[in-house]
Amino acid sequence: MAQHAIERVSANKSFGGWVSRFTHYSEVLDCDMTFGIYLPPQAEEERVPLLWWLSGLTCTDENFMQKAGAQKLAAELGIAIICPDTSPRGTDLPGEHERFDFGSGAGFYVNATREPWSRHYRMYDYVTRELPELIREHFPLNGREAISGHSMGGHGALVCALRQPGRYVSVSAFSPVCHPVNCPWGEQAFSHYLGDDRALWAEYDACALIRAGTSRQPLLVEQGEDDNFLDEQLQPGELERTCQECDHELTLNYRPGYDHSYFFVASFIDDHLRYHARYLQAE
């Protein structure tokens, strides 16, 4: 019998597998949370590998599942996909719901150290420790995991992989916030969640982690050239310069005409699924 309880709130069959949503109580976040998971048809007969998808600002666990169109190829490849939510829910802290780029829907995948955020906003521990333990108890997974994400979630995917060498067999990102210690979104979030200690900020910055030599894992990044947030918030050029200076392997695909939306994600998600499949299915 599983140690930690989950409750299924919806299930929809998709390409022979199932898209389901579950709720559970998170001890790390001290609130009830919801996550989505796609289990391919192969999961009925065997344990399957897993791709983590971390979503961006204002998103929930549902955006990727409903908009990315990933289920058809995931079913063919035999890959499960899990989508956590992007922040704690139902905590109603002062100012939590006033901005789209901070608080509700904007956890930034950090462990907050400042009150009142430190009681609930510990999304890094949630997506790297608590939720993985939970899903391993309840679903037929084989232990091989990759990670990807979009925007704030692309930042989260890069940081989670770079901070934990060997944890994920592969990592990719769409339109990631590459250098949050030096952009308005990151400065807004980090100053509230982490305070004034920029050394602590650097622990959640992909460029800083690469410079620190924390990991040598290759990175795959997809970026639309018509993204409204390209230069001010995302700064892929800074990631590219950092990787060149540190001799860190990076594939950065600039896509002319594409913006920041899920139309962009859906256009190239199959490329990323095939990329991760090569690592997830390697002998």
Is the distance from CB of 148 to CB of 51 less than 8 angstroms? yes
| Residue 155 annotated in active site | no
Please identify which of the residues 61, 85, 205, 227 carries the catalytic annotation: 227
Other Cβ atoms less than 10 A from the Cβ of 225: the count is 11
Strands 141-149 and 219-224: unpaired
| Residue 196 annotated in active site | no
| Alpha-carbon gap, residue 85 to 243, rounded angstroms | 30
Helix/strand/coil (H, E, C) string of 69-112? CCHHHHHHHCCEEEECCCCCCCCCCCCCCCECCEECCECCCCEC
Please identify which of the residues 151, 170, 172, 175 carries the catalytic annotation: 151
| Alpha-carbon gap, residue 229 to 18, rounded angstroms | 34
Is the distance from CB of 263 to CB of 69 less than 8 angstroms? no
Is the distance from CB of 162 to CB of 214 less than 8 angstroms? yes
| Residue 260 annotated in active site | yes
| Alpha-carbon gap, residue 188 to 276, rounded angstroms | 32
Sequence length of the chain is: 283
Catalytic residue numbers?
151, 227, 260
